[in-house]
Amino acid sequence: MKIEDLAKEIENLAGMVQRGFKEQTTNLNEFKDEMYEFKDEMYTFKSSVDSKLSQIQENLSELNPSLRALKLSDRDLENRVTKIEHKLGMA
């Protein structure tokens, strides 16, 4: 093999390596862009979920006093039924 042929092969190989690096850099930059887009989408999704959870928490807080009142009312009715059953001799 001649020196000129060897130099040409090395030059071809260098060109291939350079194109490979350029292609990988392009791929990496595209991947990076996709990951930033994904991050933004996840942030938007998280914000939406947080907002909905806050609304649910608020709704539950509003229901809590009503549930306590119903529970007390249920206990009161249960006590009354127990007393009536006892008076009728059913208990």
The per-residue pLDDT for range 32-62, each reduced to its tens digit, is: 999 999 999 999 999 999 999 999 999 999 9
Dist. CA 38–CA 28, nearest whole Å? 15
For the chain, the domains span 1-64
Phi-psi region of 35 (alpha: psi -120 to 50; beta: other; left: phi over 0): alpha
Q: What is the pLDDT of residue 80?
A: 87
| Residue 2 phi, psi (nearest 5) | -85, 160
Rounded to a whole number, what is the largest CA-CA distance in the chain? 119
Q: What is the pLDDT of residue 67?
A: 82
The position carrying tokens 């292609």 is 23
pTM above 0.85, yes or no: no
